[in-house]
Every structure is written in structure tokens, then in C-alpha cells.
Amino acid sequence: MKPKTFSRRQVLGSGAAAAAAPFVTTRRAQAAPGDNFDWMQQKGKQLVVSAPLQSYYSILQKLIPDFMKLTGIEVEYQVVPEQQLRQKLPIEMNGKSSAIDVYVTSMQVEKLLFSAAGWYEPLNKYLENPSLTPPDYNWKDFGPTGTYWGLVTDGTVVAIPMGVGLWAYMYRQDLYAEKGLKAPTTLDEMIASVKALHKPPATYGFVGRGLKNANVPLWGCIMSALGGNYLDPSKTKLLVTLPEAAEAANIYADLMRNYAPPGSIGFNWMECQGAFAQGIAGCWLDGLNFALPFEDATRSKVKGKVGYAPHPGSSRRKPFGGTSMDALALNRFGKNKEAAWLFTAWASSRPVMFNLMTQGAMIGTRNSIYQDPEFVKANSLPKGWIDAVAEALGNPIPQLPELRDVNQFRDIYGVALANIVLGADARTELEKATREFEPIFQKGLRG
């Protein structure tokens, strides 16, 4: 079977190329991760794998012939724009369709919904079976970020970690050095540095997402830095009207209103990335996975001038990484589950992940790769970026609340945050948003 693909024009039109162009490297995945393991045990089976249009899944697609040669399993690799995939999966799963065997799932959006619906195939029995999982696979190598997102509360593994959206801190190292500043470890230090660097129109102290819905993770990570949270530990009570939430909203609004470039109220990550790459912003709180263009002289005016660090904390929380996760899951209704698991084990193996991380700009969670000198050599991003990623992954906090209706949460609170930037009272807006969202939240809790 031939993988379904999209043209270069379609890829560029989707914005995927702007997010992360592939690294240039000659290293390829080892042909057979897992010595003395029977990779041919499902020879002759056929699989359908559905993945989003992202750089590292494009690299995975190029490696599919290696997998087919290794296992004798035929693979149809479907490439679907992410929003279309998010719409397609519930339809397929709700209909108990067996048309897809392996799919990429966005855990920050789908984990609770798909788990409650019984759409994930539990993976413990595959991981624990030495006949189905290579001896060098090592689940623990995925670290606290990966295992957190892959597990549900009863200890069931529902998905295998792949790429992390890692919210952290990017800053102009050269401008900081001129002012005698170091990478901030607290919000207070960060705010002081923003004020010190703010010299518009040449340089704005800060850039961040202002667009409603897209702005929620920025507010949420500031709230986490202050020791707050979206939800209580049982995830049955909203905490977004507590003082930390309002304080975070006020900090966010002050940064956006007084220290960000004009028009930032309409910025998503793409506009923020462009402003930072053009050298007009002193720092950016967002995903370290968006850093690749900064080290490319053809797309950036700040090559070699950018510093990377975990998200600043406070006296109440040490620096951290705000995480989201995409992962590989098996269709509960699939017909070739053991063959599907072999694909998943191969795609998430250390040598394949090494390729996805070096060629495809993926932030993976396998700890051993970040400790590998070969990874530093093969990576186009500087060692400071690698060190910041590893440190941020060591103290992960979800970017978004773990809710059945997280998209509605983002829509409702995103409007509140936009109003606060425009001058509305933070506490009033958050209380209003909570009154609107509470019935949706309670309905989600009831299933």
C-alpha cells in the first residue's frame, strides 16, 4: 500500500512547515531496535495508521519502509490535518469502526473523553508481555512527563508518549547580558527583566499570545508559577476564581497591555514566533518546540542570540515545564491489535525517537536521549535548548486543565482574558466565566 500524502503546497498552507522544518541529518533509525526479538511474528498483517500533518510524523512516514521490511507488516499511513483528525476520530470510534488500527491522540484534549468512552485499547498487557515488547523498550525511560500523560488514574496505560508541547521561556541572551541579567527563575525576576529591556519601538520587553482561546495556556502557566491550579486534586472543583488566578490574569494583562508589540491582542503562537524571530521582543513565554526557526539565519535575526530556560516559578513553585502531549493509541475496535502494538513499540522505540527528535524537531520524553552526546551533535538547536528541555521535563505541569470539555473552557476563559487585557476587572471576569462554564463542567463530571 502507498501512504496517503499531501503536496508541499498543502503542507505550507497548513502552517506546519512554519512550525518546525525538519533538521538536516544523515542519521537514520536502526533497522531492528530490540536484539533477539521476533519482529516477524505478525508477518502478512495489514495496518492503517492515522497521524496529523506535523514535521515529526512526516519523518515517521519516511521510516515506514524500514518497519515493513523489519516486520513483514503492510502499513497504510494516512496523513490528516490535525483539526480534521480531531473531528474524524470521535466519529470513527463512536461507530466502533475498525478502519483505523493506530492513531495519534491529543492527550490534553482527548484523554478523559476517550478513556471514559472506552475508545483506547489498554496497553499494559502488551507492555508486560516479553513476546510483544522488545527487552530494551523501557517504559520508565519516558520520564514523569510521558508516563503522566500515558496513564489514567487506575494505572492503565492508554497511549504511548510521542511529542510534547513544552511551555517554557525564550529570551534574548545578548540583551540580557548587556543589562547584566540572567535567565529568570521567578516571575518577579522575569517582570523586572521585561521592564529593563522594554525600549519600543526597537524592542518590546515581552511577546505572548493574546488571541482568545490561544491565550489560556499562558495565563494558566503564570497561575501555576504562583502556586495556583485550574482544578483541585480530585479534578472535581474549579479553582479559577481564587486569588492566584486573578493575580495571574493581572500579570498577564499588564505584560500584554504595557510591554508587548501593538496588535498582540490578536497574536497566536505564529505571530509571536515571527515577532521574536525578527528581534523586536525581549522574551517569549511559549513552547520550546517553536524555537527551531530562531537558529536558522535565513528566517531569523536572532540566530545565536537566544537563551532557553524552564518557565519561571516563584517562592511557591520552582521553575517547570507546562506540558501537552500527543501520543500513539490503539483502536479498541481494531482487528489487528498485536500487529498494531508492534508498530507502536517500534515507532516509540529509542532509535526511532532519536530520528524524530533530531530530524523532525520533536520534543520527546525519553530521558536517555537527552543524556546522549550523539543527540547533542545531531541536533541543530544549541545545547542550552537541550538542557532547558531536559530541566523543564523534569518538573512537568499540564498547560491546560484536564477536562472533558477543555475546548469550551478555552473559549469561555479566553474571552475573559481578552477583556482583562482591555481593562476589565480580573476577578469579575473570571467569576463571570466560571458561572458560564460551571454547568458544562458539572455535565462533564456526570459523564
List, in order, residues 6 or more apart from 442 with CB less than 8 Å away. Answer: none
- Single-letter code of the amino acid located at 208: G
Residue 184 lies in a domain: yes
* Domain total in the chain: 2
Q: What is the mean pLDDT of residues 18-38?
A: 48
35 — pLDDT class (breaks 50, 70, 90): low
Q: Is residue 3 part of a domain?
A: no
CA 244 to CA 353: how far, in whole Å?
38
Q: How much is the pLDDT for 188?
A: 98
Task: Assess whether 238 and 386 both reside in one domain.
Answer: no
> Which pLDDT score is estimated for 238?
97
Whether 111 is in a domain gets the answer yes
List, in order, residues 6 or more apart from 7 with CB less than 8 Å away. none
Give the residue-averaged pLDDT of 215-230. 97
82 exposed, middle or buried (CB, 10 Å; 0-12, 13-18, 19+)? middle
Q: Are both 427 and 382 inside the same structural domain?
A: no
Helix, strand counts (H, E) of the chain: 19, 8
Asked, for residue 2, whether it belongs to a domain, the answer is no
Does residue 417 lie within any of the structural domains?
A: yes
pLDDT tens digits, residue range 387-418? Answer: 999 999 999 999 999 998 998 999 999 999 99
- Domain of 138, CATH number, reads 3.40.190.10
Q: Which domain holds residue 302?
A: 166-321+401-446
Alpha carbons 307 and 176: distance in angstroms, whole number:
9
| Cα(72)–Cα(140) distance, integer angstroms | 28
Q: Where would I find the H helices in 226-289?
A: 243-259, 269-277
pLDDT tier at 186, thresholds 50, 70, 90: very high
What pLDDT is attached to residue 385? Answer: 95
pLDDT at 232 over 80: yes
Pairing state of beta strands 74-80 and 46-52?
parallel
Same structural domain for residues 264 and 183?
Answer: yes
349-394: pLDDT as tens digits: 999 999 999 988 899 999 999 989 999 999 889 999 999 999 999 9
pLDDT at 359: 87
Helix (H) or strand (E) holding 165: strand 160-172
| 299 and 334 fall within a common domain | no
Per-residue confidence at 81, pLDDT binned at 50, 70, 90?
Answer: confident
Share of the chain above pLDDT 90, in %: 83
- Name the pLDDT band for 162 (thresholds 50, 70, 90): very high
The pLDDT of 97-113, averaged and rounded, is 94
Q: What's the chain's average pLDDT?
A: 90
Does residue 124 share a domain with residue 40?
Answer: yes
Contact present, 123 and 160 (Cβ < 8 Å): yes
Q: 118 and 43: one domain? A: yes
Determine the Cα angle at 209 with ends 58 and 301, to 5°: 70
Span 283-307, mean pLDDT? Answer: 94
Residue 51 in grid coordinates = 497521524
Q: Has residue 217 been placed in a domain?
A: yes
CA distance 311 to 318: 9
**Whether residues 171 and 255 fall in one domain:** yes
Pair (154, 17) in one structural domain:
yes
253 and 196 in a common domain:
yes
Confidence at residue 86, expressed as pLDDT on a 0 to 100 scale: 86
% of the chain with per-residue pLDDT over 70: 92
In this prediction, residues 36-52 reach a mean pLDDT of: 95
The residue ranges of DSSP E strands in 298-356, in sequence order, are 306-309, 321-330
| pTM of the full structure | 0.86
Strands, E assignment, 331-406 = 396-398
| pLDDT, mean of residues 13-35 | 38
Q: How far apart are CA 317 and CA 303, in angstroms?
A: 31
Tell whether the model's pLDDT for residue 9 goes beyond 50: no
Is the domain of 308 the same as that of 376? no
300 and 442, same domain (yes or no): yes
Residue 16 has pLDDT above 90, yes or no: no
| Confidence (pLDDT) at 34 | 54
110 and 223 belong to one structural domain: no
The model's confidence at residue 33, banded by pLDDT at 50, 70 and 90, is low
> What pLDDT was estimated at residue 77?
96
Q: Which of 361, 381, 398 represents a domain boundary (last residue)?
A: 398
Q: Considering the domain boundaries, does residue 190 fall inside one?
A: yes
Strand 396-398 and strand 321-330: pairing? parallel
Residue 1 lies in a domain: no
Q: Is the pLDDT of residue 207 over 60?
A: yes
Does the pLDDT of residue 26 top 80, yes or no?
no
Q: Distance between CA atoms of 244 and 187, rounded to whole angstroms?
A: 13
Q: How far apart are CA 232 and CA 172, in angstroms?
A: 36
